[in-house]
């Protein structure tokens, strides 16, 4: 049976939009979706586990991988390096499984150049006030970082038109339902279905 490649979904959102909770909830409800785990030089936050949240590597290792062309995209955010392994993306996609990539607009641009069929989803907070409040409750962030992130949020949101879909994350369950609908609808698109249902359609020709 002929099967299409998996879908590649990119999710971008300003820091503090609740993207990570949303993505975790989606992954729990959809076993056909694999989360891409980035390599990063940023130190782990409390509770983060190497190999689950990120592959934590030294700057030296990261630069070496970069020189070997192992990253499909890489970016520097707040002075830390992030990258996604191309080998892993190709393997998962060609097995028919979907991939979810949580990256910023710089990374999204790089991915789209290599995979034009990428589906980009942008998550926005319901208001500036809500975003500021969410950033403040992150205990490990200091006021200077909060201001830096609000400015970064403005910069990220200025790239919203580069994405295919926009979701407002006000109530988590609603945003989750929106996200799940997009993933489902993408699989029902005619170009995918004509391949996946080719045997069924052939019965009628």
Q: Specify the residue, 92 or 153, whose C-beta has the smaller distance to a copy of itself.
A: 153
Is residue 167 near a copy of itself by the rule CB under 8 A? yes
| Candidate list 126, 136, 147, 171; residue touching a copy of itself; CB under 8 A | 126
Q: Which of 71, 82, 115, 122 binds a copy of itself (CB under 8 A)?
A: 122
Q: Which is nearer to a copy of itself, 57 or 182 (CB)?
A: 182
In 3D, which of 25, 12, 29 has the Cα closest to residue 171?
Answer: 25
Alpha-carbon torsion 35, 95, 194, 110, what sign? positive
Q: Are 35 and 173 in contact (CB under 8 A)?
A: no
Residue pair 13/149 in contact (Cβ under 8 Å)? The answer is: no
* Torsional sign, CA 179, 37, 39, 65: negative
Q: CA-CA distances (angstroms) from residue 47 to 37, 56, 73, 98?
A: 16, 13, 26, 26
Task: Specify the residue, 92 or 175, whose C-beta has the smaller distance to a copy of itself.
Answer: 175
- Rule CB under 8 A: is residue 133 a binding residue for a copy of itself? no
In whole angstroms, how close is the CB of 186 to a copy of itself at the nearest point? 8
Give the end-to-end CA distance of the chain in Å, rounded to a whole number: 18
The one segment of 24-32, 46-54, 138-146, 161-169 that binds a copy of itself by CB under 8 A: 161-169
Residues forming the site for a copy of itself (CB under 8 A): 122, 124, 126-128, 153-154, 157-158, 160-161, 163-168, 177-178, 180-182, 184-186, 188-190, 193-194, 197, 200-201, 203-205
């Amino acid at each position: 049976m002929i099967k299409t490649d998996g879908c590649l979904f990119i999710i971008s959102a300003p820091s503090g939009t609740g993207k990570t909770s949303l993505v975790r909830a989606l992954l729990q409800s959809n076993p056909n979706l694999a989360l891409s785990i980035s390599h990063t030089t940023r130190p782990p936050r409390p509770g983060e586990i190497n190999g689950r949240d990120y592959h934590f590597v030294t700057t030296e290792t990261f630069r070496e991988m970069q020189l070997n062309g192992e990253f499909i995209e890489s970016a520097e955010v707040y002075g830390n390096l992030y990258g996604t392994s191309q080998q892993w993306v190709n393997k998962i996609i060609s097995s028919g499984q979907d991939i979810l990539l949580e990256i910023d607009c710089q990374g999204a641009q790089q991915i789209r150049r290599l995979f034009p069929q990428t589906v980009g989803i942008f998550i926005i907070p319901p208001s500036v006030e809500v975003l500021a409040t969410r950033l403040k409750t992150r205990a490990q962030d200091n006021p200077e970082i909060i201001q830096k992130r609000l400015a970064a949020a403005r910069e990220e949101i200025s790239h919203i038109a580069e994405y295919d879909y926009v979701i407002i994350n006000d109530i988590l369950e609603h945003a989750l339902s929106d996200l799940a609908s997009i993933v489902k609808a993408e699989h029902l698109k005619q170009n995918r279905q004509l391949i996946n249902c080719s045997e069924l359609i052939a019965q009628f020709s």
